[in-house]
Amino acid sequence: MQPDKKHKKTPKPPWLKRRLPSGPVYEQVRSLLKKGHLHTVCQEARCPNVWECFSQKTATFLILGDKCTRNCGFCAVAHGPAGPPDTEEPARVAEAVKQMGLQYVVITSVTRDDLSDGGAGVFADTIKSIRGRMPETFIEVLTPDFMGDISAIEKVILARPDVFNHNIETVPRLYCVVRPQADYRRSLKVVEFAKKIDPDMITKSGIMLGLGEKEKEVLETFEDLLNVGCNILTVGQYLQPTKQHLPVKRFVPPEEFQKLRDEAIRMGFDEVASGPFVRSSYHAKDLFKAL
């Protein structure tokens, strides 16, 4: 995809239109994040669930800055030089988790190919900081691929998150367009390495639909994830964040998402969330608790 190419946005079908909740809790969370100079993937990636999650005092913290060294065709996070990691960020995230009284928190990041460990050390420090302030809080990490560096993955695993998540995002045929700087097999290896490092670790991955994939390819991707030990799967609708991003090829109706969930459970996943609004960390606590 050419960076300056514009794509016309396709109107959304009725099932993708939703009322946006607001209120004092939403404003409280937004104010707390602003005061702590913290980023969330909810805001940076223009997640459609941001109003709902903020209103329920839930947030997915985005560490290692707000600029990514990659430029994926589906992602609204800014691209560009990010500078050195903020050494105070882990403590600020932990303090925000404490002030919000979170029982379950998701930590994700931009991709930092410019760092020797891809930012794995900051993930580990953030986990440890949260544990120090909120020892009863469950922690899920949603990591980049760390360029397939097993030592970086190990650094995160040894910090003892409760769930290790790395998204496969799409089917292998579409990687050259959707994730041109990533590699399908490498992403599978990330999930596989996490499970090998700690066989008891709950692993998770997610895929978007609506980018031109075929059902057979989706099911084959499910099978690939199962073969590397993935426990939890999320399946959601891709939504074009801006006209500069990849267009939606198809809006998948809710009944097809339900069919895919039923099939994924039959195949052997422990838990599956599948629906138009499902994202990696959407109702993450409910999926974890259901295991």
pLDDT tens digit at each of 291 positions of the chain = 444 455 666 677 776 665 555 555 556 666 666 666 565 544 444 555 454 555 555 668 889 988 899 988 888 778 887 789 999 999 999 998 898 888 889 999 999 999 999 999 999 999 999 999 999 999 999 999 999 999 999 999 999 999 999 999 999 999 999 999 999 999 999 999 999 999 999 999 999 999 999 999 999 999 999 999 999 999 999 988 888 889 999 999 999 999 999 999 999 999 999 999 898 777 777 788 888
Tokens 């809080």 sit at which residue?
137
Q: Does residue 59 sit in helix, strand or coil?
A: coil
Measured CA to CA in angstroms, residue 244 lies from 6, 49, 116, 203, 279 at distances of 5, 21, 30, 32, 21
DSSP 148: G
Read off the pTM.
0.86
- Helix boundaries (H) for the chain: 24-35, 41-44, 50-55, 89-100, 120-133, 150-157, 175-178, 184-197, 215-227, 254-267, 284-289
CA–CA separation, 210 vs 55, rounded Å? 28
**At the fourth CATH level, which superfamily is domain 20-289?**
Aldolase class I (3.20.20.70)
The residues spanned by each domain of the chain are 20-289
* SS3 letters across 248-289: CCCCCCHHHHHHHHHHHHHHCCCEEEECCCCCCCCCHHHHHH
CA–CA separation, 66 vs 150, rounded Å? 25
CA–CA separation, 146 vs 190, rounded Å? 8
